[in-house]
Chain A
Amino acid sequence: MTDFRPTILAFCCNWCSYAGADLAGVSRLQMPPNVHVIRVMCSASVKPEYVLKALSQGIDGVLVLGCHIGDCHYMTGNHRTAKRMPLVQKVLKETGIDEKRMKLDWVSAAEGEKFQKVITDFVQDIQKLGPNPLREVKF
């Protein structure tokens, strides 16, 4: 395995995915220490600009995690996330940034194990991609 230690940013919604991350912690589920969580109230509040800002400044990967469709505590918030984030990936692709550096997934408050898996898999995926080339670019 590679020695590359990526820096990853994750947006977690307060109600499901952040609580799922907490559950993973309470359950002592071990995972790579590369992911840094920013808590937001709903995944639908994550602006595309945040993802672009992080990746353009050299963050190696960005995760956006919300409630499963149908379980959003704000009813339909995550429907917007589900529509918006693939568009962000399209923008990334168009601008020459590997769209796999951004991932959208759903983790419920009861899914500590899923959180562990999503984190572990994403870190591995980013390790395969290597460091973000924009790291060296000064805007």
Chain B
Amino acid sequence: MARIGVFICHCGHNIASTVNVEEVAEFAKTLPEVVVADHNLYSCSEEGLGSIKKSIEKNKLDRVVVAACTPRTHEPLFRKTVELAGINKYQFEFVNIREHVSWIHTKEPKSATEKAKKLVAMGVAKAALLEPQKEGESNVIPTAVVIGGGIAGLTAAASLVAQNIDTHLIEAESRLGGNLADIEVVGPEFRRSEELLDMLTKELKASPKAHVHMSSKVTDVKGFVGNFEVTIDKAGKTEKIPAGAIIVATGAKEWTPDGEYGYGTVPGAITQLDLEKRLAKGERPKRVVFIQCVGSRQPGREYCSRVCCNASLKNALRILESSPDATVSILHRDIMSSGTVSEHIYRLASEKGVRFMRYGLDRPAKVSRTQNGTVVKVFDETLDEDIDLDTDLVVLATPMVAREDSRDVGKLLKVPLDKFGFFLEAHVKLRPVEFATDGIFLCGAARWPGSVNECISQGMAAAAKAAIPIRRGKVVIEAITAQSDIDKCAACGNCVIACPYEAIEIVASEGKRYAKVNETQCKGCGTCVAACPNDAMQQRGFTTRQLGAMIDALVKSAMEETP
């Protein structure tokens, strides 16, 4: 028999103002194998945790159920608490009666209380079947791989090398710097990008810890956190790099218009990056019209690329700097230049005489070639009529889009992408530069169009995160991995096919063939469990018996009441 303690949290008024916490605690006392049930004002407070610990000792509990908020934020805290009181942390079960009850049934306190009881009954039923688990551990190869040598990847590599970590930087092109290498000056501070790139490449050149692979492509990635093997192709030559952590910094690229606004047909219609290259060569056009949001913030590509407004403002100011009599117009849908410095250059551009005109998606500007030169026809909202702007250049501010090969990189690393092809981090706030897959990190425009400043911060952040497993030398594997029951397993191989991580193989031992899960490679998704026709495959902490007991508990309480 298990000895279960149940603790219901008031969360101040958050839960207790809707759910009758005392009633739920009284109900919990009637559940099988529950030795004690109590309620705390704030279970996660010093006092609440202290009383749980005391109760564990006093009542000799071997399992604990806390009904409070979401396990997604507070589970580690309670697991640690029960562990300090001598219970294996995997014999703790969390029931969510705040996000899933009190906050969403505010006006139905009676039904909310009944639902909380059912959820607690389900949690207790599962807790009774929880087994102590031992977390795995594996060694970490003290080497990092950074894929992509743009500003984010360079920064990440330089940060890792500064920490004395052997770092391999893999760059697909024959030069470092990525998009930034085509840009002479970066905004909004008007800093020369050459300085930035020189500083970083010098740091890498000077360090024996840095290994830069130019014109190289990642062709295969095997393994898991601490034990990756990255295969690269360097001009037909294959090289295998063992690594403990991988940083994805593959960047993004400027979208090329598909004939929009005269691109490719009207002379002078160029993209922002084309303009950057011309300005770098010293060209200073006299008449320029920028068109913002070309190909972005519209159906199919709904996002704001964030960098294009600032790029246009920066280049407008650069043009006016060297030729104050130049005519510069910016046709926009909204100027996105948030932040103190960017807002300043927006104001500065206005003061210097840049003409800002707003346009709507329903009336886009028309770019054409006439006898007198290139003309941009735009509807002026103030005048309520079309006006013609004569110009030399029409700069199309197109968004940054994901690289075509990002899907391939995603497949190699088994990491997800969003619908636009940008990489998807584990959690936007809790784990912003990490993938859900341990040991793989992310920075720069590969995630989302970002300014140079953001790419640098992210590069540093990703390097700091990647250094954690390498510096620790060991990684802990959460004990929610799958295990197979050798006696039940028929070695059919369904799980082998189902596993997204190639973590299962059929092995033979003493004449018996069965599926074996590589614990360090298993990510604990449970896909193999549902694929197993013999119920031989089980995910620890989510076994079929445990989930079955939860269903039974819900059935039991539902059958006791009239529908």
Which residues of A come within 8 Å of B, CB atoms? Answer: 4-7, 9, 14-15, 18-19, 21-22, 24-26, 28-31, 33-34, 36-42, 44-50, 53-54, 57-60, 70-77, 80, 84, 109, 116, 131, 135
The answer to whether A50 and B96 touch across the interface, beta carbons within 8 angstroms, is: no
Q: Which of B104-112, B242-250, B458-466, B484-492 contacts A (4 or more CB under 8 A)?
A: B104-112
Known: A7-B118, A18-B70, A74-B501; 8 extra A-B contacts, CB below 8 A, are A5-B563, A18-B72, A36-B119, A39-B71, A44-B526, A44-B530, A80-B530, A131-B563
Across the interface, which residues of A come within 8 angstroms of B547, CB to CB? 38, 40, 50
Task: Give the docked Cα–Cα distance between A15 and B107 (Å).
Answer: 29
Q: A40 and B542 in contact (CB under 8 A), knowing A26-B103, A131-B563? A: yes
The answer to whether B526 and A42 touch across the interface, beta carbons within 8 angstroms, is: yes
Chain A nearest Cβ from B425, distance in angstroms: 11
Q: A37 and B96 in contact (CB under 8 A), knowing A7-B558, A49-B544, A75-B414? A: yes
Q: Which 4 A-B pairs have the closest CB atoms?
A: A45-B526, A25-B99, A7-B558, A74-B525
Partner among A33, A39, A74 whose Cβ is within 8 Å of the Cβ of B527: A74
Q: A33 and B530 in contact (CB under 8 A), knowing A39-B71, A47-B544, A131-B563? A: no
The answer to whether A58 and B527 touch across the interface, beta carbons within 8 angstroms, is: no
Q: Which of B256-264, B301-309, B325-333, B416-424 contacts A (4 or more CB under 8 A)?
A: B416-424
Which residues in window 79-108 of B have CB below 8 A to A?
A: 96, 98-101, 103-108
Task: Give the docked Cα–Cα distance between A36 and B556 (Å).
Answer: 13
Chain A nearest Cβ from B472, distance in angstroms: 24
Q: A33 and B115 in contact (CB under 8 A), knowing A44-B525, A71-B416, A76-B500? A: yes
Chain A: which residue is nearest B531 at the CB level?
A: A80
Partner among B99, B418, B426, B498 whose Cβ is within 8 Å of the Cβ of A71: B418
The answer to whether A7 and B563 touch across the interface, beta carbons within 8 angstroms, is: yes
B524 sits at the interface (CB 8 A): yes
The answer to whether B498 and A80 touch across the interface, beta carbons within 8 angstroms, is: yes
B551 sits at the interface (CB 8 A): yes
B555 sits at the interface (CB 8 A): yes
The answer to whether A28 and B106 touch across the interface, beta carbons within 8 angstroms, is: yes
Contact with A along B529-563 (1 / 0, CB 8 A): 11100000001001010011011101100110001
The answer to whether B99 and A24 touch across the interface, beta carbons within 8 angstroms, is: yes
Across the interface, which residues of B come within 8 angstroms of A18, CB to CB? 70, 72
Chain A nearest Cβ from B412, distance in angstroms: 11
The answer to whether B551 and A54 touch across the interface, beta carbons within 8 angstroms, is: yes
Contact with A along B411-449 (1 / 0, CB 8 A): 000111111000010110000000010000000000000
The answer to whether A6 and B524 touch across the interface, beta carbons within 8 angstroms, is: no
The answer to whether A30 and B107 touch across the interface, beta carbons within 8 angstroms, is: yes
Across the interface, which residues of A come within 8 angstroms of B107, CB to CB? 30
B140 sits at the interface (CB 8 A): no
The answer to whether A38 and B100 touch across the interface, beta carbons within 8 angstroms, is: no
Question: What are some 6 contacts across the A-B interface (CB < 8 A)?
Answer: A26-B103, A30-B106, A33-B104, A36-B115, A44-B498, A54-B551
Chain A: which residue is nearest B114 at the CB level?
A: A33
Which of A15, A33, A42 has the most CB atoms of chain B within a 10 A radius of its CB? A33
The answer to whether B555 and A54 touch across the interface, beta carbons within 8 angstroms, is: yes
B523 sits at the interface (CB 8 A): yes
